[in-house]
Structure formats: C-alpha cells, structure tokens
Amino acid sequence: MTSAVLPSSHPLVDGRTAASPLVTALRGGKPAHRPIWFMRQAGRSLPEYMEARAGTGMLEACLTPGLASEITLQPVRRYGVDAAIFFSDIVVPMKIAGVDVDIKAGVGPVFGRPIRTMADIEALPDLGVAGDRGVFDAGLDAVRAAVRLTVDELGPTPLIGFAGAPFTLAAYMVDGRPSRDHLGARELMHTSPEVWQALVSWTARAAGLFLRAQVVAGASAVQLFDSWAGSLSQADYVRHCAGGSRAALTAVADMDIPRIHFAANAGHLLNDLGAAGATALGVDYRTPLDEAARLTGGAYALQGNIDPAMLAAPIDALTRHVQDVLDRGSEARGHVVNLGHGMPPHANPDVVKRIVDLVHERG
C-alpha cells in the first residue's frame, strides 16, 4: 500500500515502478529476476560522463537540473541496470543551505572553516521545514527539477534518492576536509557531546529534507550512505550517531517507500543500521550476504555485495564471484545485487555490462 502523502503522479502511485524488480526485492519479494544497480554507477568510469561534465565543477553539475538528469540516466542506458541512483554528492545539502563548501579535485569536500563549537553550530543556516519556501527549501528546487526530468525519462525503471548520513556529514564538517581516521569527530563526540549532538541534529535535518524533496518529486526508494560509520565501535555508533540516521530516515518514513541504509566496513553495525529506520541494508564486500542474513534474522532485504576489486579479475574468477554473491544473497528476505562499495573510477564499462547480463541471466 502506497502512502497518500505521495502525489498521484508519483511512479509508485501511478504504477510505473510499484512492481519493478528493485521495489519488489527491497520490499522482501521475489521478482522475475534479481535486480542490480551499482553505487557510483554514474560518474568517472563512463566516458560519456567525462564528456558531459567537461568544464563544469562537481557541485555545479549536481545543481544543474538538465545535466544532473543526463548523468543519472547514462548508466541506465549503457548497462540496462534495474535502477538509477540520483546523481548528487553528500555535501549538496550544505551547499544549498549556504555553507562554505567545495569539492577539490584529488581531495574531496573542503569546508571554509571547521565546525567545532556550539557557536559554530548556531551560526549554521536555518534549514526551515519542508515546503516553507525559505532559502533551503527554495534551493531544493533544482533537485526537484532534476528528479522530475529523470523520472519522466526512466519510465518503469525506479530512481533511488540519495543522501549522506549525518555522521559522515558531521565528520567532514568537524575536520573541514576528508580524514583517514575521523579523529576530530570522534574526539568531539566524547569531549563535547552536547556540541556533537547539535551538529548531528543539524546534518540529520539537512539529509532528511534532501531525501524528502527527492521522494516527493518522484524517487521510488532512498539510500542513506554512511561512508565512515565503520570507524566507530558499536557502542559509540548507537550512543552518538544512530539517532541522526534515524531522524534522516524518519523524514521519509510516512511515504511508505523502501529505505536502504549502507555503511562501509560496518558488519558489526548491521542490526543497528536497520534499527535506525531502514527497510533494507546495504552490505559491504567484507561480510558475506548469507552471514548478514543470519546476523539480522532475515528482518531486512539485503543489497550487495560484489567486491569492487573483482572487476579487474579474470572473467572466470569474476563469474564465480558473482555466482557466489547470488547464491548467498538468495538467503536474504529480498536481494538487490550491487557492489560492496562504490564503482572504481577505472572500471571497464564492458566488464560492468557483463556483470549486469550475468545477474539477469542467473538471478
């Protein structure tokens, strides 16, 4: 049953995507074939992406509706995957809000200044509420437009909305740039827990409003992506971070759509990631899918988990690996094939297409 919150033109309401292999699997069903898509399928591994984005900065591309839509569609055309993932970046909500952030080539997200005190947090822009036509909501119009353009082209293929998880967003903001061990963020959560929680609350609200805008505009599922949660102990994740993810996912929970929660290197957190409001769990390549199904008691559909390194392996070895993922994934309540992390930038598109065809034939 689809929530009445969604507009009548939404693909889940008008029937375009409701019975798609992706939505069926994410809801615990068994579609005619195992659905497959890839994290970071739109991007540097595709020559058409490099051509489309030539001369355009990353964040500018994300906020240019026609370009963001075109990039989102490219891997669907080339590979025949069962879902598109909205082309964006985890810091786009911050950029829309007016935070001083840019993506530096070879570095990643870089903030004008780190956020480490309560005064810093109080100086962050007011995000308002969904639909209030404040600065943040109005800034989301470019995102809504890109989603609508994309959904119109996709037809029965679902679009997955995307946002970075509050812990990863907060960690970047504390350090001001990417960090190997996120020590600054981990120190702040212990030395100034009230400051840390205030920052997580702000990033959770940004992520939740960002996800909601994509869903109302036409996304048929969402994924909350936590790049760095695996660096935390289970106790620290539950105490200091899970509430942020729960708040972000709750922002779309009233719309009855599949909600995927993925964190890298986080096999020890699977049940906690689920308890934060997910209906499906992304599993990275370190945890076998049958083990993940046992650990979570079959409570969630699972997504994953081809090892990205195997894309460079001999074809026989890659075929055996994909078959193993299919076999283990069959133990899950529902299974969506994906990589166990993002697409490598040097991935061979011909190999990626071979994987899609293999999954459709054998899955």
| pLDDT one-digit tens code per residue, 77-104 | 999 999 999 999 999 999 999 999 999 9
The 8-class DSSP code of residue 344 comes to: P
246 lies in some domain: yes
Is residue 16 domain-resident?
Answer: no
Q: Which sequence positions are flagged as catalytic?
A: 40, 44, 53, 89, 172
b/e per residue 228-250 (b: at least 16 CB within 10 A) = bbbbbeeebbeebbbbbbbbbbe
pLDDT band, residue 1 (cuts 50/70/90): very low
Quick: pLDDT tens for 8-40: 999 999 999 999 999 999 999 999 999 999 999
Q: What confidence tens digit (pLDDT) does each residue in 189-234 have?
A: 999 999 999 999 999 999 999 999 999 999 999 999 998 899 999 9
DSSP state of 230: G
pLDDT tens digit string along 124-176? 999 998 888 899 999 999 999 999 999 999 999 999 999 999 999 999 999 99
pLDDT in tens, 234-263: 999 999 999 999 999 999 999 999 999 999
Question: To 5 degrees, how large is the angle CA 327–CA 154–CA 42?
Answer: 65
The number of angstroms, rounded, from the C-alpha of 205 to the middle of its chain's C-alpha atoms is 16
Of 129, 247, 132, 265, nearest in space to 199 by CA: 247
The CATH number of the domain where 218 resides is what? 3.20.20.210
Cα separations in angstroms, 234 against 146, 185, 237, 296, 346: 37, 16, 5, 15, 33
Domain membership of residue 7 (yes or no) is no
pLDDT for position 2: 57
3 pLDDT band, cuts 50/70/90, is: low
What pLDDT, on a 0 to 100 scale, did the predictor assign at position 247?
A: 98
| 36 CB-side CA count, 13 A | 28
Q: Are 283 and 260 in contact (CB under 8 A)?
A: no
Paired sense of beta strands 101-104 and 108-111, if any: antiparallel
Distance CA 96, CA 99 (A): 8
> What is the arithmetic mean of pLDDT over 299-307?
97
Residue 9 is assigned to a structural domain of this protein:
no
- Please give the pLDDT value at position 184: 92
Extract the tokens encoding 49: 């992406």
Q: What is the dihedral angle through the alpha carbons of 341, 346, 349, 354, rounded to the nearest 10 degrees?
A: -60
In a domain, 11, yes or no: no
User: Does residue 147 lie in a domain region?
Assistant: yes
pLDDT-based confidence at residue 4 (cuts at 50, 70, 90): low
- Give whole-number Cα distances, 115 to 57, 185, 214, 237, 330, in Å: 24, 10, 27, 20, 44
* Inside any domain, residue 340: yes
Query: Rounded CA gap, 332 and 34, in Å?
Result: 12
Say what the pLDDT of residue 5 is.
85
Q: How many beta carbons lie within 10 A of that of residue 217, not counting itself?
A: 23
Q: Are 217 and 173 in contact (CB under 8 A)?
A: no
**What local confidence, expressed as pLDDT, does residue 64 receive?**
98
* Phi (first) and psi of residue 242, to 5 degrees: -60, -35
Count: domains in the chain: 1
Q: Is residue 3 part of a domain?
A: no
Mean pLDDT of the chain: 96
Query: pLDDT at residue 344 above 60?
Result: yes
Domain with 267, as residue range(s), is 21-362
Task: Write down the pTM of the prediction.
Answer: 0.96
Name the band, by pLDDT with cuts 50, 70 and 90, for residue 292.
Answer: very high
Provide the 10 A C-beta neighbour count for residue 210.
27
Q: How far apart are CA 358 and CA 352, in angstroms?
A: 10
